[in-house]
Amino acid sequence: MDSTFLGILVGVALELRKTEPAGSMALLQLGERNFEVVRNLGIDRLVSVQAEADEVTFGTNDVEVMETSEDSSQPDEQLIREAHLRLSELNEKNARLFQDVVGFLQKDQED
């Protein structure tokens, strides 16, 4: 999982919280490295997180199929920038970590 993907997950988790009734997100069966990344970035404060050793069971009403839109092969710089901004807003450490990425993408959009 890269930082863009994680930033998108944060955005989805925040949008789920705004729904009525409020939704939630769970990241399940994360490997050790991904579990540590999620914890270090502070994402575990927004979503439920389970390590890979935890057992996962779903009831028939617990899973909802989501429709997907057409996939684009070109990266969307605005999406990448927003994903990193979301991660930066979680805590000061993330803001320092991603300031160069956000700055580079902001400058690129202004050109």
What is the number of alpha carbons within 13 Å of residue 3 lying toward its C-beta? 19
Instruction: Walk along the chain (111 residues) and give the pLDDT tens digit of each residue.
Output: 899 999 999 999 999 999 999 999 999 888 899 999 999 999 999 999 987 765 666 555 656 666 666 665 556 889 999 999 999 999 999 999 999 999 999 887 776
Range of the domain at 13: 3-54+74-110
For the entire predicted model, the pTM comes to 0.76
CA distances from 79 to 4, 7, 8, 47, 76 (A): 8, 9, 8, 21, 5
60 belongs to a structural domain: no
44 belongs to a structural domain: yes
19 belongs to a structural domain: yes
Helix/strand/coil for 27: strand
Task: Answer for the pair 94, 87: CB distance below 8 angstroms, yes or no.
Answer: yes
Task: Answer for the pair 35, 27: CB distance below 8 angstroms, yes or no.
Answer: no
84 belongs to a structural domain: yes
59 belongs to a structural domain: no
Distance CA 82, CA 62 (A): 29
Q: What domain count does the chain have?
A: 1
pLDDT of residue 46: 93
27 belongs to a structural domain: yes
